[in-house]
Amino acid sequence: MEGMAAILYEDRLGCLENEIPQKSQDYIAALHLMFSSFKMTMYAGAIPKWLRTIIPRPWEEFCSSWDGLFSFSQIHVDKRLGEIQDLVSRGEEVKGGLLTHMLVTREMNLEEIYANMTEMLLAGVDTTSFTLSWACYLLARHPEVQQEIYEEVTRTLGHGTIPTADDVPRLPLIRGLVKETLRMFPVLPGNGRVTQDDLVVGGYFIPKGTQLALCHYSTSMDQDNFPGADDFRPDRWIRKDATDRVDNFGSIPFGYGIRSCIGRRIAELEMHLALTQLILSINQPAVFPDRKQP
Ligand code: HEM
C-alpha cells in the first residue's frame, strides 16, 4: 500500500512508520471492510434495487466502504492539486508523475481523477501483497528452489546491493518465481469477456454477445498446458535461447488485450524488487538437503 500510494499519490502514507497516521489507518479499515464485505458485494449486486429497502445491509456496507476509499483519494488528490496551484502561482515549473499529469492536462475531470486513483490503489494493494505472500510460502516449502534463486541473486548482484529496475532482466529466476507463483495461485480466480462476434472455439459455437467466464486456476493447473503442473518450478519460465518462447496462454494472470491489467508493469517491478531484496537479506542460505518436501 505504501509503495502503490507513493507511485499514485506522489506522497507517503506513513504505513511503515511506528505510528501510522489516523487517515491512513481509516483507509486500511475501509479497504478491509471492502474485502471482508466482498461476499456482501456479491449480494449487493445480486439483490434487486426494490429489495434494498427490505435487506439494506449489503448495499449500505458496499456504499460506505467505497465512500471511505473515495474520501481518502480525495484528500491526497486535493493535496497534490494545491501544491501544483502553488507552483503555478509562483511561476515555477510543475514536474511529477501520473497524478500530476492527470491534474495538469485535465483530460479527466476531478471526479474522474478521484475515481481512477481510488480504483488503482484498491487494485494495486491486495493483488501484489497476496502474490508476495504466496511466493514466500512457496519458497519456504521448497528450500532447494530458494537456494537456486539465492545463488542467482547473490552471484549477479552481490550482497549489500539495493536492486533497481535495471537489474531485473539479469534475474530470470526472480521473474520466473513471480510467473510461477501467479500460475499456481492466480490472485484473480477468473476473467470475463462478452464475445463481439460469432465464434467457434474447441468445436463449440459461441454466438455474439455471449458472456464468457475464464477460470485462471483450471487452465494454469492443466497438465496439457503445463506438464508437471503441481510442481513449483520457476525455471519453467526461463528461455533456453533467443528463439525459445515460454509465453503460455494457459496462464494469463493479468488478463489479455486492450483491457488487460493497467498496473501490470508496476506490479511486476514491485514484486521483483521486493523478492530480490528479501532474498538478499538472507544471511545464510536455507538449504536442508536431507529434508523431503511434502
Ligand atoms: C499481482 C498483481 C496484479 C494482478 C494479478 C492483476 C490482475 C488483473 C486482471 C486479471 C485484470 C483484468 C484484466 C482483463 O480483463 O483482461 C486487471 C485489471 C486491472 N488492474 Fe490489475 N492486477 C494486479 C495489479 C494491479 C496494480 C498494481 C494496479 C494499479 C496500478 C492494477 C490496476 C488494474 C486496473 C485499473 C484494471 C482495470 C483495467 C481495465 O479495465 O481497463 N492492477 N488486473
Contact between residue 198 and residue 207 where contact means Cβ atoms under 8 Å apart:
yes
pLDDT digits (tens, 9 = 90+) for 106-160: 999 999 999 999 999 888 988 999 999 999 999 999 999 999 999 999 999 988 8
Distance 33 CA to ligand 1 centre (A): 20
Q: What are phi and psi of 234, to 5 degrees?
A: -55, -25
Whether 3 is in the pocket of ligand 1, judged by its Cβ within 6 Å, is: no
Distance 253 CA to ligand 1 centre (A): 9
pLDDT digits (tens, 9 = 90+) for 219-255: 999 999 999 999 999 999 998 776 766 668 899 999 9
Whether 252 is in the pocket of ligand 1, judged by its Cβ within 6 Å, is: no
- Which pLDDT belongs to residue 115? 93
CA angle (16 as vertex; 15, 17 as ends), nearest 5: 95
- Which pLDDT belongs to residue 74? 92
Whether 207 shows a pLDDT value over 70: the answer reads: yes
Contact between residue 5 and residue 13 where contact means Cβ atoms under 8 Å apart:
yes
- Which pLDDT belongs to residue 38? 62
Whether 294 shows a pLDDT value over 70: the answer reads: no
Which domains does the chain possess? Answer: 1-107 (no CATH), 136-294 (1.10.630.10)
Q: Which atom of ligand 1 is nearest to the CA of 259?
A: 41
Whether 219 is in the pocket of ligand 1, judged by its Cβ within 6 Å, is: no
pLDDT digits (tens, 9 = 90+) for 95-108: 999 999 999 999 99
Cell numbers standing for residue 280: 538478499
Whether 238 is in the pocket of ligand 1, judged by its Cβ within 6 Å, is: no
Does 261 appear as a known binding residue? yes
Exposure class string for 159-187: b at 16+ Cβ within 10 A, else e: eeeebeeebbeebbbbbbbbbbbbbbbbb
Contact between residue 46 and residue 135 where contact means Cβ atoms under 8 Å apart:
no
Q: What is the mean pLDDT of the chain?
A: 89
pLDDT digits (tens, 9 = 90+) for 41-88: 777 777 888 888 888 888 888 888 788 888 888 999 999 999 999 999
In this structure, the strands spanning 190-194 and 199-201 are unpaired
Helix axes 22-36, 57-89, angle to 10 degrees: 140
Torsion of CA 45, 49, 50, 54, to 10 degrees: 50
CA-nearest residue for atom 7, ligand 1, is 254
Higher pLDDT, 278 or 60: 278
Distance 102 CA to ligand 1 centre (A): 19
The arithmetic mean of pLDDT across residues 18-44, rounded, is 77
Distance 203 CA to ligand 1 centre (A): 31
Q: State the sign of the Cα–Cα–Cα–Cα dihedral 105, 107, 109, 114.
A: negative
